[in-house]
C-alpha cells in the first residue's frame, strides 16, 4: 500500500506541472488578475493607475509586502481597497491552502496532486493530514483576524464612527496578521500608525497579530496542542527560541541605537521609546507597520532593521525573509562544529545534513538576489545606495519598510522591486525549481576531494 502511494506520488511529480511551477504560475496569475482589477477606473478616486504601478501594487499585496507607490487610503476607492485586502488574504493564507480547505468543507475529494501541491506550499514534511492542516490554517487566520478586528474596532469607534471604525479595524487586522503593511491612515492625514505611537492598546493588538502571523501554522498548531501533548518538535523549539531572541535583541539594539536626543525615537520618554523599539523589532521581521519615520533613524538603527528584515519570520508563516528556523539550523551547525561534532545538533536532536545544506542555499540565494537587484537599482536610479539596498531587502523579505525611495523609483526600478517581492515570497529555491528543466538524479557518486575554506 505504501509502495503504491509512493509510486503514484513520484509519477505525479514528473507529469504535467510540478508543485513549484504551480505555485509560481498560480501566484503570477493572481497578481495579473489583481493588477487588472486595480487598473479599473472604479478602483481609484479619479486618477487611474498605470500598468506598471498596478502590477507593482498587486504584487506587493499578493506577496504580503506593503510597499506602495501611491497612498492606499487616499488613492484607492473602497472597491480598490477591497481588492487589495482580498489579494493580501489570498497571498497570506495561500491560494492552494484556501482551495484545499474549501474543498474539505464542502466535502469535495482532494486528489493526491492537491496534497502534493499543499505540501510544497506549506513546506510540510508529510502529505498525510493536509486537509486538517488546511482547515486549521484558514480557521486560525479567521479567528485571529476576527479577534483583532473587534479589539481595534472598540478602540477606534469613539474617534472614527461605526462605519469607518469597522472598515479600518477589519482592514488593519487582516493586513497585520498577514504581515502586509498596507494602511488607510492617509485618509486622516497620517502615515502608518504614527498617530498611535503612544497607544499601548493599538501597539499590543497590532504587534500581537504580527508576531502570531510570523510564527507559522506548524508552531501555532503545536502551541494549541501543548496542554495535552506537553512536547514541541525541534522546528517549533528553534522558531520560538530564535524568534524570542530576535525580538528581545532587536528591542534592546533599537533602544540603544536611538537613545540620542536628535532621533525621533530618542525624543520619546523612556517608556514610549521602549514600546516603539519593541514594536519596530517585531514589525521589521514580519509586517512593516511603523509608528516613526524610518528615514530619520540613526545609521545604527537602520542597520539593526536591515538584519531583522533579512532574517524575517518563520517557515509556513505569513512573513518572508530567510526564516528564523534557517538561521537556527545554521547556528546549530556552527555551534556543533565549534564543539568538534560532525553533525548539527540542537535540543538533543540531530539536524540532517540535507537540512543544513538547504539552509545555506536559502541564505546564499537570498544574498545573491539582493546583491544583483541592488546593483541594477544603483545603475537605474539616482538615489542613495543605502536607501536602495534598504528597499531591496525590505522587498525580498516582504516587510514593507521604506526610507521613501519606492515612490521615486523609475518604471524599471519598480519592476525590479516587484520581481524581488515575488521571489522573496515564494523563495529563490522554489522559483529556480519552477524554471529549471526537469531531470532525474543519476545514481553517480563522484570522487571526494577537499578544498581550502576560510
**Are the CB atoms for 328 and 238 separated by under 8 Å?**
yes
- The whole-angstrom separation of Cα 71 and Cα 17 is 38
Beta strand pairing call for 344-346 and 349-351: antiparallel
Nearest to 135 by CA among 126, 148, 122: 122
Q: Cell numbers 498548531 label which residue? A: 221
Task: Quote the pLDDT of residue 117.
Answer: 59
Grid cell listed for 166: 469597522
CB hemisphere CA count around 88 (13 angstroms): 32
Looking at the DSSP bridge assignments, the partners of residue 345 are 350
Is 172 within 8 Å of 152 (Cβ atoms)? yes
Q: DSSP string covering 386-446, please?
A: HHHHHHHHHHHTT----SS-GGG--HHHHHHHHHHHHHHHH-HHHHHHHHSPP-PPPS--P
Side-chain half-sphere CA neighbours of 32 within 13 A = 6
pLDDT tens, position by position, for the chain (454 residues)?
445 544 555 454 445 677 777 788 889 999 999 999 999 999 998 888 999 999 999 999 999 999 999 999 999 999 999 999 999 999 888 765 765 565 555 555 555 555 555 555 555 555 555 667 777 778 888 999 999 999 999 999 999 999 999 999 999 999 999 999 999 998 888 778 988 999 999 999 999 999 999 998 889 888 988 888 888 999 999 999 999 999 999 999 999 999 876 788 988 999 999 999 999 999 999 899 999 999 999 999 999 999 999 999 998 788 889 999 999 999 999 999 999 898 999 999 999 999 999 999 999 999 999 999 999 999 999 999 999 999 999 999 999 999 999 999 999 999 999 999 999 998 887 777 777 655 555 567 778 777 776 6
Residue 345's φ and ψ, nearest 5 degrees, are: -130, 145
Q: What cell was used for 6?
A: 509512493
The distance from CA 264 to its chain's CA centroid, rounded to whole angstroms, is 27
Beta carbons of 288 and 255 less than 8 angstroms apart: no
pLDDT at 228: 83
Distance CA 283, CA 281 (A): 6
**d(C-alpha 427, C-alpha 420), whole Å:** 10
Residue 124 CA to its chain's centroid (Å): 17
Say if residue 99 is exposed, middle or buried (CB neighbours under 10 Å; 0-12, 13-18, 19+): middle
* Cα–Cα–Cα angle for 226, 227, 229, rounded to 5 degrees: 55
pLDDT of res. 1: 45
C-alpha cell at 71: 497612498
Amino acid at each position: 500500500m505504501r509502495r503504491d502511494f509512493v509510486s503514484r506520488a513520484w509519477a505525479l511529480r514528473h507529469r504535467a506541472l510540478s508543485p513549484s511551477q504551480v505555485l509560481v504560475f498560480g501566484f503570477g496569475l493572481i497578481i495579473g488578475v489583481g493588477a487588472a482589477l486595480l487598473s479599473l477606473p472604479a478602483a481609484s478616486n479619479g486618477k487611474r493607475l498605470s500598468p506598471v504601478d498596478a502590477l507593482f501594487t498587486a504584487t506587493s499585496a499578493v506577496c504580503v509586502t506593503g510597499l506602495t507607490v501611491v497612498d492606499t487610503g487616499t488613492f484607492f476607492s473602497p472597491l480598490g481597497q477591497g481588492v487589495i485586502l482580498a489579494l493580501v488574504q489570498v497571498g497570506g493564507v495561500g491560494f492552494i491552502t484556501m482551495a484545499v480547505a474549501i474543498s474539505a468543507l464542502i466535502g469535495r475529494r482532494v486528489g493526491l496532486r492537491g496534497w502534493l501541491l499543499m505540501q510544497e506550499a506549506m513546506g510540510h514534511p508529510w502529505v498525510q493530514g493536509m486537509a486538517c492542516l488546511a482547515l486549521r490554517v484558514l480557521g486560525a487566520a479567521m479567528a485571529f483576524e476576527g479577534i483583532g478586528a473587534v479589539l481595534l474596532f472598540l478602540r477606534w469607534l469613539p474617534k472614527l464612527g461605526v462605519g469607518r471604525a469597522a472598515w479600518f479595524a477589519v482592514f488593519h487586522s487582516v493586513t497585520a496578521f498577514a504581515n502586509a503593511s498596507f494602511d488607510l491612515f492617509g485618509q486622516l492625514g497620517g502615515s502608518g500608525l504614527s498617530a498611535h505611537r503612544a497607544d499601548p492598546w493599538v501597539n499590543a493588538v497590532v504587534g500581537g497579530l504580527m508576531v502570531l502571523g510570523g510564527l507559522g501554522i506548524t508552531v501555532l498548531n503545536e502551541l494549541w496542542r501543548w496542554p495535552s501533548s506537553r512536547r514541541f518538535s525541534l522546528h517549533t523549539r528553534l522558531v520560538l527560541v530564535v524568534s524570542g531572541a530576535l525580538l528581545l535583541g532587536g528591542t534592546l539594539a533599537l533602544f540603544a541605537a536611538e537613545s540620542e536626543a536628535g532621533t525621533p525615537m530618542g525624543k520619546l520618554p523612556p517608556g514610549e521609546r521602549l514600546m516603539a523599539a519593541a514594536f519596530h523589532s517585531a514589525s521589521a521581521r514580519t509586517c512593516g507597520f511603523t509608528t516613526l519615520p524610518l528615514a530619520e533613524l540613526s545609521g545604527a538603527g537602520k542597520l539593526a532593521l536591515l538584519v531583522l528584515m533579512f532574517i524575517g519570520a518563520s517557515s509556513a508563516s505569513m512573513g518572508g525573509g530567510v526564516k528564523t528556523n534557517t538561521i537556527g539550523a545554521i547556528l546549530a551547525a556552527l555551534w556543533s562544529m565549534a564543539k568538534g561534532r560532525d553533525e548539527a545538533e540542537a535540543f538533543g536532536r540531530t539536524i540532517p545534513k540535507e537540512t543544513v545544506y538547504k539552509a545555506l542555499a536559502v541564505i546564499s540565494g537570498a544574498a545573491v538576489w539582493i546583491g544583483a537587484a541592488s546593483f541594477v537599482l544603483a545603475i537605474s536610479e539616482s538615489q542613495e545606495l543605502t536607501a536602495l539596498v534598504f528597499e531591496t531587502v525590505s522587498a525580498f523579505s516582504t516587510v514593507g519598510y521604506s526610507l521613501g525611495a519606492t515612490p521615486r523609483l523609475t518604471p524599471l526600478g519598480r519592476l525590479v522591486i516587484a520581481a524581488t517581492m515575488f521571489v522573496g515570497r515564494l523563495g529563490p529555491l522554489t522559483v529556480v525549481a519552477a524554471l529549471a528543466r526537469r531531470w532525474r538524479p543519476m545514481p553517480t557518486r563522484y570522487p571526494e576531494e577537499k578544498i581550502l575554506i576560510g
